Amino acid sequence: MPCPFLGSMNQTFVRNYASVLVKQYGNFCPIFSRGFRTLGVDETKCPFIQKNSIISEAPKEMTEDIVESVNTYKYDKFFSEQINAKKKDYSYRIFRKVSRLAADGLYPQALEGTENRRVTVWCANDYLGASRHPAVQDAAISAIKSYGTGAGGTRNIAGNSQMTEKLESEIANLHKKPAALIFSSCFVANDATLSTLAKILPGCIIYSDAGNHASMIQGIRNSRAPKHIFRHNDPSHLRELLSSSPASVPKLVVFETVHSMSGAICPLEEMCNIAHKYGALTFVDEVHAVGLYGKHGAGIGEERGVENLIDIVSGTLGKAYGNVGGYIAGSSLLVDTVRSLAPGFIFTTALPPPVLAGSLAAIRLLASEEGRSMRAKHQAIVRYLKLSLLVAGLPQMPSVSHIVPVPITGADKVALVAESLMKRGHYVQAINYPTVARGEERLRFAPGPHHTPEMIDSLITALIESFHENNINFNQFMVNGACRECSMEYKVDIAYEEPFKYPIAA
């Protein structure tokens, strides 16, 4: 039978104060006291049963940490259920330890794991390697030496340096807009701009592309404005929805130029023209296009000569520009309105000096002749990868941009293939829900001008082996370097340095 005295107490308390309890009450206990009696103590009755509670006699320091068991919310139980659900459907994310190297001859390699194994990185959005370009690095280092590492406060209080204004003016010029505004990231830029505009424009209705990035979806949700979703990159659906909207009401049409996960490019001109016909403003995310398309790297708008059709352009400093931060550019009044009213802009520390200087240097670099040559190399190596996949018979999604997605259905399968590739020295992150819909899992390759044809050949061999290792069927076109059907030797003969035909208007 358990002791009715000890059993009435909190067990942690009993454990913590066992020795004190024995010393203080042991001689009252009929069981313990037998031992004590031999020491000359004569007390045989349990005071717990005999009298009222002995706890009331306990010294204060022993009773004050008795914890009454109250039925409070079980936070840990809740969080572990959330995590378990993610683990069960394979969408739980485990970050790889991958430290990308910047030194000449080492980029685009990285140190992987705790053993610092060398791997080639295929999935960084530092698309052109601007983060390790000497001009960008030097600018960032010299800004740290002159101005320190941090901005010291919000733009209003301590962070409005000359460099901040210089960067905004550079961005505005790049996009041929009167004004620009920088944010901590483009996620924040999209969220803050859309939520603010759609909230303050009276009765605003939003028309949002079904493939839009989470940052735009977040901004639209936060605005609580009514919204219509049009089919991804489908101008006729956009027209259909807009045609039944009230003419005098403010409207925003929101979409991306280069889609982040499929590499599709939208029919920009058509979509903008439709939006304007129905009196809407166009909000266009050029995050995966800035630095990469157009004569000066301003994006698809510049490449197609239709920048003037974009009312608000958003871009990132964190991908092709190799730094961190985001921005919008548009009319002075619109930009000033967002600057004055968007909490996501107002109440946060400004971008730090090295980022401002590094971004400014990167934008200038990619607008220059050298930038154009980097873009030409970029497009050539992308083409080489796409053709190599084709020849090997490996699947790829029909991307028209620099993003090369290889579909592998099933979160478990795509993770296994990524793991097999890592074993073979190639790092590419498996893309799964919620970044893409369930069933649309993929490996997303983003080769850059520093990847070589030899690296791609090695990647293709590793991909073939990894597909086999994980029992994924595909129609291999080449077997041992020869055509499967006719045994003719086959070479992927694509000139890597071939002159790039730049599709720009003037």
Ligand X SMILES: Cc1ncc(COP(=O)(O)O)c(C=O)c1O
Q: At what angle do helices 268-277 and 235-243 cross, to 10 degrees?
A: 10
405's tokens: 């997605």
Given the complex with ligand X, which of 179 and 186 has the nearer CB atom?
Answer: 186
Segment near ligand X (CB under 6 A), from 100-108, 183-191, 244-252, 472-480? 183-191
- The least CB distance from residue 188 to ligand X, in Å, is 7
DSSP state of 156: T
Distance spanning both ends of the chain, measured CA to CA: 94
Is residue 219 close enough to count as binding ligand X by CB under 6 A?
Answer: no
Would you say 262 or 316 has its CB closer to ligand X? 316
* Residue 326 binds to ligand X (criterion: CB under 6 A): yes
Cβ of residue 117: shortest distance to ligand X, in angstroms?
A: 27
d(CA 46, CA 54): 10
Structural contact between residues 417 and 464, judged by C-beta atoms closer than 8 angstroms: no
Please tell me whether residue 185 binds ligand X under the rule CB under 6 A. Answer: yes
Q: How far is the CB of 476 from ligand X (least distance, A)?
A: 33
Candidates 55-63, 181-189, 342-350, 450-458: pick the segment binding ligand X (CB under 6 A). Answer: 181-189
Q: Does 432 bind ligand X (CB under 6 A)?
A: no
Footprint of ligand X on 286-315 (CB under 6 A):
287-288
Determine contact, residues 435/261, Cβ cutoff 8 Å: yes
x-marked contacts with ligand X along 129-168 as a string, rule CB under 6 A? ----------------------------------------
Q: How many CB atoms lie within 10 A of CB 226?
A: 13
| Residues 246-285: x where in contact with ligand X by CB under 6 A, - otherwise, as a string | ----------x---x------------------------x
Interacting span for ligand X (CB under 6 A) from 143-151, 182-190, 194-202, 488-496: 182-190
Q: Of 132, 155, 175, 213, which one interacts with ligand X (CB under 6 A)?
A: 213
CB closer to ligand X, 112 vs 285: 285
* Residue 450 C-beta: closest distance to ligand X, Å: 21
Q: How far is the CB of 75 from ligand X (least distance, A)?
A: 30
Residues 6+ apart with CB under 8 A from 378: 127, 128, 292, 402, 447, 448, 449
Out of 282, 316, 420, 466, point to the residue binding ligand X (CB under 6 A): 316
User: For ligand X, which stretch binds (CB under 6 A), given 18-26, 78-86, 179-187, 301-309?
Assistant: 179-187
User: Residues 221 to 250: which contact ligand X by CB under 6 A?
Assistant: none
CA Rg value for the chain: 32
Tell whether residue 187 is a contact of ligand X (CB under 6 A): yes
Residue 233 CB, shortest distance to ligand X, in Å, is: 13
Relative to beta strand 404-407, strand 478-479 is unpaired
Q: How far is the CB of 415 from ligand X (least distance, A)?
A: 20
Q: Residue 124 in contact with residue 320, Cβ under 8 Å?
A: no
Q: How far is the CB of 125 from ligand X (least distance, A)?
A: 7
Cα→Cα distances 182→169, 192, 255, 286, 363, Å: 10, 11, 20, 15, 14
What are 253's two structure tokens? 């049409």
Active site residues: 319
Angstrom distance (rounded) from CA 463 to CA 461: 5
Among 33, 215, 223, 359, binds ligand X (CB under 6 A): 215
Distance CA 106, CA 121 (A): 11
Distance CA 390, CA 376 (A): 21
Q: Which of 58, 163, 172, 186 binds ligand X (CB under 6 A)?
A: 186
- Nearer to ligand X among residue 318 and residue 449 (C-beta): 318
The nearer residue to ligand X, 161 or 215, going by C-beta atoms, is: 215
Q: Count Cβ atoms within 10 A of the Cβ of residue 414 and give its class: 0-12 exposed, 13-18 middle, 19 or more buried.
A: buried
Stretch that binds ligand X, among 102-110, 185-193, 219-227, 378-386 (CB under 6 A): 185-193
Q: 287 vs 365, which CB is nearer to ligand X? A: 287
CA dihedral 420, 422, 427, 430 (to 10 degrees): 40
Contact at 8 Å (CB) between 324 and 350? no
Rounded to whole angstroms, what are the CA distances from 52 to 2, 32, 435? 18, 20, 64
Please report how close the Cβ of residue 304 comes to ligand X at its closest, in angstroms: 18
Binding residues with ligand X: total (CB under 6 A): 14
At which residue do the structure tokens 């919620």 appear? 434
Beta-strand relationship, 205-209 and 251-256: parallel
Q: How many C-beta atoms lie closer than 10 Å to residue 150's C-beta?
A: 15
Q: Between 191 and 307, name the residue whose CB sits nearer to ligand X.
A: 191
What three-state secondary structure class fits 460?
Answer: helix
Q: Which residue number, 110 or 431, has a Cβ lying nearer to ligand X?
A: 431
* Residues lying near ligand X in the complex (CB under 6 A): 185-187, 190, 213, 215, 256, 260, 285, 287-288, 316, 318, 326
